[in-house]
Amino acid sequence: MSDDRQHTVLVLGGIRSGKSAFAESLVADAPAVRYVATAAGGEDDPEWLGRIEAHQRRRPQSWSTEETGADPARLTELLTEAKPDDTLLVDDLGGWVAALLDPARQPNDDEADVAALAAAVRSCAARVVLVSPEVGLALVPTTPVGRAFADALGTTNQALADACDRVALVVAGRPVWLKPAPEPAVAFPTVPPVPASAEPPAGSPADAGSRAEVVSPPAHVVSPPADEPTHVVSPPAVEGSVRVPEVVNEPTMVLPLVASATVIEAGMDLPLPDGDAGPDARDRLATVDFPGTGLGRLVEAVEFAAGTQGTVTPQPWSAVRVLLISGRHAGGAAAGDDAEDVERRVAQVENGEGVLSRLAGSAGADIAVLRTGEAAPMEDGPTTTDEEVERGLQQGWQLADAAAEAGKDLLVLASIGAGTDAVAAAVSAATTGAEPVAVLPRVLLPGGVFDDESWMARCAAVRDALHRIRREPRGAKDLLRELGGPDLAVATGALLGAAARRLPVVLDGPVGVAAGLIARDLASQTRHWSMLVDAGDLELVRQGGDVLGLTPVLDLGLGLGEGANALAALPLLRTAVGLASAIGPHPATLPADEGEPDFTEPEPDGPGPATTSPE
């Protein structure tokens, strides 16, 4: 059952409304989902089979599929047999009604079958999300069969809407909750601007010709402390790349804010990417005039760009910001980590040096660097306080806001810290049930030497922390307080803020994936705005990505550091997206009247000489 206690949900929507993608987002937090497919037939219909394949590609590998098309009574049985820990996604009831009305099953008491299904949903012990077409807004069908289907589906929708805890209607990819009608989870109140005559707060940036406008958050919103500045660094461009603007240093509290009174809590209703543009862009690639078989696995990047940009011909990302979070964790989690070396690498980035800065300069990206406070040992007690968790979430949200306000079209989540791998492994184990020793990365020392003693110390810290919280609540904020610490809270808030601003995010390593796992329990839509470029050789990233439904676009085995891996692959991703939108269809795929016309030389009007000679 979900943390927000939405036990049974009915999702209604028209054709291509995005209802299926929204329903999938509602169960994204489940470690395993039983997908109940009701469609039957279509073996001789390539277009219908293509729709089914598009749905199949979206499902994580951890999901199992149950086909009920041939026997509609099987759906009622599955609901009756389901256990409390199960999660079922039924897509959709239109196929179930079509099978119910099959002439081969007549005569039959169809109303009794609908009543039995509603009763099974009402008494089901599992978490259930049902998808159904909304046909009540269309014209009355002109055929008896069409009217019978519309009537039966309308009756079914009414019965299940009464049986379910919540009902949502999806229109143009935007969900509207019909039952119940909750207060909006995200509020954007009007905040009066600071008068032009007001003096800026101490430390606020001002250039020669303008003064930075500061929007002060209401008193009940926690502002990031002034001693945790965020430096937005534009690394020097390397040879052959585009030079980026000069360095800008701003404390986080004066970054431009849009949602200054955001309420971050479970069940947030954030936007989803375009549910049709991505699959349509993938289908379009089959017709593009590529000389070979096409883009291979890079198709995933094209589909992601299309969905997040809302177009079948997306453009390569041109304004990238890297959000580098430097966190420190005390205790066994940091065994084998050198705090001085961590600080040296962060200072390198701030000075425009090192691997991350060079790759950012090559990509034309800037880097926002944030140092967070030290987290307490997770094996001994909570790593931070509830107030610090709230502050970190707000701070991350504001950083994503700042990136969107600066015109960025892609956010790369990066991390350089001490103890972050062990904390990410603990969060992964707590949220997905993964075995900690199977996902905890080995400890690599300078010179390529593995420190197995430190790895065992980290294992012990993760084990003790999980044992300590075995009877504690496992909500998102609970995990951040008990295990995650301030840095993971900031990363989680950034994912939420990016989704709210429709800003796509690249996850690249343990901290990003752990933040994604926590963010899905606050707003499951966040995973649809996230892309995993490469899992490297880390099982923690691979398993966490699979639970989030994120398949790595590439399999390069990179180990350049969290954030640097994504920047190294970014030129290839940009090339794929650019080719997908710039290259037109092959002439053979065009209709006859749209292809190149056959050219025939016109006949002369009358007889003429075969040759000409000067007179």
| Residues classed as catalytic | 562
In the 8-state DSSP scheme, what is residue 588?
G
**Can you tell me whether residue 382 is helix, strand or coil?**
coil
> ∠ at Cα 461 (455, 466), nearest 5°?
125
In the structure encoding, which two tokens stand for residue 213, read together? 């406008």
- Residue whose tokens read 């929507």: 13
Asked whether the beta carbons of 50 and 205 are under 8 A apart, the reply is no
Asked whether the beta carbons of 76 and 46 are under 8 A apart, the reply is no
Rounded to whole angstroms, the Cα distance separating 485 from 368 reads 20
Rounded to whole angstroms, the Cα distance separating 570 from 176 reads 36
Amino acid at 549: G
CA 120 to chain centre: 32
- Residue whose tokens read 């039924």: 90
CA 604 to chain centre: 65
Rounded to whole angstroms, the Cα distance separating 470 from 475 reads 13
Question: DSSP letter string over 509-531?
Answer: SHHHHHHHHHHHHH-GGGGGGEE
**Can you tell me whether residue 35 is helix, strand or coil?**
strand
Burial of 535 (0-12, 13-18, 19+ CB in 10 A): buried
Angstrom distances, CA of residue 220 to CA of 262, 387, 427? 11, 12, 29
Helices (H), 3-143: 19-26, 46-58, 73-81, 93-100, 110-123
Q: 422: closest CA among 437, 440, 435, 434?
A: 440
Burial of 136 (0-12, 13-18, 19+ CB in 10 A): exposed
* 475 Cβ contact list (under 8 Å, min separation 6): 3, 266, 521
Asked whether the beta carbons of 418 and 342 are under 8 A apart, the reply is yes
Helix axes 564-582, 354-363, angle to 10 degrees: 10
Whether the bond into 107 is cis, omega within 30 of 0: yes
Rounded to whole angstroms, the Cα distance separating 539 from 441 reads 8
